[in-house]
Structure 1
Amino acid sequence: MEEKRKKAFYRRWWFWVIIAIIVIGMAASGEEDVVQEATPDTGDTIEEDNEDVSGVEDQDEAIDEEIIEDADETEADATDDSAKPDPIDRMTYGSGMYEVGTDIQPGLYRSEGSVNYWARLSGFSGEFDEIIANGNPMGASHVVEIFDHDVAFESSGSGEWYLIDDNYEGELATEFGDGIYIVGVDIEPGRYRSEGGSGSYGYWARLSGFSGGFDDIIANGNPEGSTIVEIDGADQGFETSGNGTWTKVE
């Protein structure tokens, strides 16, 4: 009897099954490695993107805050500017003769600069009888009231006149020199002392109005040297020239 020959192990069917399983396993493992290498780390990328987005949002918020602050400052500046009177729009009257009601309106006027002469007139003839009141101001500040029954107002010098309206605010000073002042607006009422001017005599007057007429004079004086005057709170104005500086003492 012939002996059976043993088949080589590589000719057995189960050998090839094992080989196939090994190959398939190796292939699957290789694909996983490839997938893992090809897949990016999305966690880091998302975090970086979030940081970039957060940075952009911070920049946008900062810009928005700057815009709001600029808008607030602009609005505040506009409010401050609107509260202040515009000197450019203020009507002024220099040297010349003006017809009341046509060229110039009745009202209380203050001078600014050097006015040498002024007059309220009842006509245009140029005669002395048509002068209702007049003056030769000393100092940079003078106040005159033009009435609606005046026909004309005349002024000469390099100074100008402007209308005092409801928005006018004085300094309420306690020390002042030559001029006419509104009591309670330009200067405080009270007791004032003057050491006298450089000339021999000065002049002062407490006023009940600003027409420039004698009827507006409550009291006046021509002091030589120092003097003391009590300005009452009921006085409308105070006029001074050649007395130097007045200082409130009480």
Structure 2
Amino acid sequence: MEKEKKPMFKRWWFWLIVVIIIIGACNAIGDEDNDTAENQQENSNKTAENGTEENATENNENETTDENATNEEENTAENEEAENTEGRIESGIFEVGKDIEPGLYKSEGSVTYWARLSGFGGSLEEIIANGNPQGSDIVNIDEGDVGFQTSGSGYWFKVDDNYKPEMLTSFSDGTYIVGKDISPGKYKSDGGDSFGYWARLSGFSGELDDIIANGNPEGPTIVEIAEGDIGFQTFGNGKWTKVE
């Protein structure tokens, strides 16, 4: 007896259902992949945004730091300038003991005239001593002086214990402190264009009594500055050089 064969249409529908199931599964997997890719892209975008915000914050912090550093440098420069100008005496007439203190002062820049005064009447009798500097000058303002007058675009500063310049072995026009600006010894000048002037000094009052010796050479000259000398003044002699 022959076995009964199943109809073909039943097997066809079976395989059709299997194919549909497989296609559905593939679509589901594809959707998951798409969702994963979208999530990854979204996370990347958020990371980039966060990185941009962090960079912007860092840039702002750097700009603030640079600005603070610039302000600190400007403040430091202003403070240094204020310290450098503090105590300077510029052009004018000053009362000793009120406007300025007595003491030893040195000029810088172009000071064209100075005078120690015994009063403010403007008369010649009130001039204790005066000068028309060529180069830097040094003046001792006494406690008994009433006033001090100075002219020119330069200024004066007080010589104190902090004054420690480099000792010179060659110099030109000006007034110098022996033992600080220059050392004792034998100096030779190369001569100026015309007659010059030099003076060994026992002080810086500007008075004649402070002159130990002086001269008006024409051409080169030689001067021995002694250890006991307080100062040395010169103009018009060109350059002096220590030879011994």
Which range, TM-score by smaller chain? Answer: 0.5 to 0.7
Is residue 111–residue 155 contact of structure 2 (8 Å, CA) maintained in 1? no
- Computed over aligned residues only, the root mean square deviation of the Cα atoms, in angstroms, reads 4.5
In 2 relative to 1, CA 9–106 (structure 1 residues): closer, same or farther, beyond 3 Å? same
Which of 30, 33, 42 is the aligned partner of 2:26? 33
Identity across matched positions, percent: 42
Structure 2-normalised TM-score?
A: 0.68
How many aligned residue pairs are there? 237
- Quick check: 70-79 or 145-154, which moved more? 70-79
| Superposed displacement of residue 199, structure 1 | 2.1
- Cα shift readout 1:170-211 (whole Å, capped 9, x = no counterpart): 5654433222133455456654320222223x2212334322
Structure 1-normalised TM-score?
A: 0.67
SS at match of 1:229: strand
SS at match of 2:115: strand
Distance between the aligned counterparts of 1:83 and 1:249, measured in 2?
43
2:81 corresponds to which residue? 85
Which of 227, 232, 237 is the aligned partner of 1:238? 232
Which has the higher Rg, Structure 1 or Structure 2?
1
User: Which structure 1 residue ranges, 4+ long, deviate > 6 Å from structure 2?
Assistant: 4-8
Is residue 176–residue 182 contact of structure 2 (8 Å, CA) maintained in 1? yes
Is residue 109–residue 161 contact of structure 1 (8 Å, CA) maintained in 2? no
Distance between the aligned counterparts of 1:78 and 1:110, measured in 2?
29
- 1:227 and 2:236 are equivalent in the alignment: no
Which of 155, 170, 173 is the aligned partner of 1:175? 170
- 1:106 and 2:102 are equivalent in the alignment: yes
- Quick check: 174-183 or 37-46, which moved more? 37-46
Is residue 114–residue 159 contact of structure 1 (8 Å, CA) maintained in 2? yes
Distance between the aligned counterparts of 1:188 and 1:64, measured in 2?
58
Distance between the aligned counterparts of 1:234 and 1:33, measured in 2?
112
- 1:121 and 2:117 are equivalent in the alignment: yes
| Superposed displacement of residue 240, structure 1 | 0.3
SS at match of 1:93: coil
Gapped regions of structure 1 (runs ≥ 5): none
- Cα shift readout 1:210-239 (whole Å, capped 9, x = no counterpart): 222344444433333212234467654321
In 2 relative to 1, CA 53–83 (structure 1 residues): closer, same or farther, beyond 3 Å? same
Which of 168, 189, 210 is the aligned partner of 1:194? 189
In 2 relative to 1, CA 10–170 (structure 1 residues): closer, same or farther, beyond 3 Å? same
Which of 132, 135, 138 is the aligned partner of 1:136? 132
| Superposed displacement of residue 25, structure 1 | 3.1
1:145 corresponds to which residue? 140
Distance between the aligned counterparts of 1:203 and 1:210, measured in 2?
16
| Superposed displacement of residue 150, structure 1 | 0.7
Distance between the aligned counterparts of 2:227 and 2:50, measured in 1?
68
- Quick check: 43-52 or 161-170, which moved more? 43-52
